[in-house]
Amino acid sequence: MSKIGRNQPCPCGSGKKYKHCCLVREQAGRSSSPMAQMKISLLGEIEKIQRLAADKKERLRELGVFIFFSMENGDAWVLEVSDGDAVQVAEAGQAMEPPVDENPETIEINYSHTFAVQDRKLFLTDYADKTETELAGAPTQQISAAMRRIMQRYSPELLSQVHVRTDETADAP
């Protein structure tokens, strides 16, 4: 089967160029919503950072409002900049089940911690027992730079729309 050029007549016989006829329909059928693309990318990035953690490689990656990083000790974390949430996805080189629940409209992540960068250190506060710990060895300087880039890239209004509040989360800290 030969490839149809964008400027060739459409094989459906409409008389239009392929790019103005069936190509548009084919692309519409293949494309997915930005939310669906984010889901695929989010889980894909989690898997990538888990593999890097298993290899004990230190890396930091950004995707939208998310920062993914792995450390030489085999730990890996996902940080969500707009709300300061965090979740560990690998520990000592072992991948942990990502706490991600997807449906066609939303991505729900069950975060375990909040995070803050203070005095060039990364602090995590556990949602369950409110204990605060410093994450020693975290690439804090890179995290701070990534946070600044994300905050510059997105307006405060857009960042405030990242989270959809439900009755359960409206009163949550």
pLDDT at 102 over 80: no
- 86 in Cβ contact with 114 (< 8 Å): yes
Separation of alpha carbons 106 and 36, rounded Å:
8
Report the SS3 class of residue 141.
Answer: helix
- 23 in Cβ contact with 6 (< 8 Å): yes
Decide: residue 86, CB within 10 A, 0-12 exposed, 13-18 middle, 19+ buried: buried
| Angle of CA points 63, 69, 73, to nearest 5° | 165
pLDDT tens, residue by residue, 5-56: 778 887 777 778 877 777 766 665 554 444 444 445 688 889 999 999 999 9
Separation of alpha carbons 139 and 137, rounded Å:
6
- 100 in Cβ contact with 46 (< 8 Å): yes
Check residue 23 and give its pLDDT. Answer: 72
pLDDT tens, residue by residue, 132-146: 999 999 999 999 999
| Angle of CA points 56, 107, 122, to nearest 5° | 40
Check residue 105 and give its pLDDT. Answer: 64
- Alpha carbon 12 to its chain centroid, in Å, reads 40
Radius of gyration (C-alpha) of the chain in whole angstroms: 21
